[in-house]
Amino acid sequence: MESNLRAHTLSETRGFVKALVEAEGDRILGFTAFGVGAAEILSAVQIAMNAGVPYTTLRDTILTHPTLVEGLIPLFSSTPVPVTPVEFKPEAGLTEMPDQLVGR
């Protein structure tokens, strides 16, 4: 919450957000929020999880600024690179960058 700019405007920087993302995919498996407006932030992620939206969508969406839910962008931007990176092989007949590699 210390890195959430809206939380600074509210003088409510205590807390954290935490996400569990699939190691070899983009699915969000779990999410925890503790702090101001946690319930509202949870709902946004809950909808994404129920709809099977990859974490990259939340990471890349331009959310209203400055809001608490906007903190999902730095959270999901800090996701480590997968343990087994997918190799891009142009000779294999691929004409576009595989989805798994976009943005990494």
Partner 1 sequence: MSATQNAGSSEVSRKSEVEDHDLVILGVGTGSTLAAWTFAGEGKRVAAIDRRYIGGSCPNIACLPSKNIIHSAKVASYVQRSKEFGIVHDGITIAMAGVRERKRAMVRGLNAVYLNNYKKTGAEFILGTGRSRCPWSRICGRTRSRRRVDL
Q: What does the alpha-carbon distance between residue 62 and residue 72 come to, in Å, rounded to a whole number?
A: 11
Q: Is 11 in the site for partner 1 (CB under 8 A)?
A: yes
Task: Verify binding: residue 65, partner 1, rule CB under 8 A.
Answer: yes
From the list 5-13, 39-47, 48-56, 96-104, the region that binds partner 1 by CB under 8 A is 5-13
Stretch that binds partner 1, among 1-9, 19-27, 51-59, 94-102 (CB under 8 A): 1-9
Min dist. Cβ of residue 22 to partner 1 (A)? 25
CA distance 5 to 66: 7
In the block, residue with structure tokens 């142009």? 90
Q: How far is CA 61 from CA 3, 49, 55, 68, in A?
A: 18, 15, 10, 14
Residues at the interface with partner 1 (CB under 8 A): 5-6, 8-11, 65-66
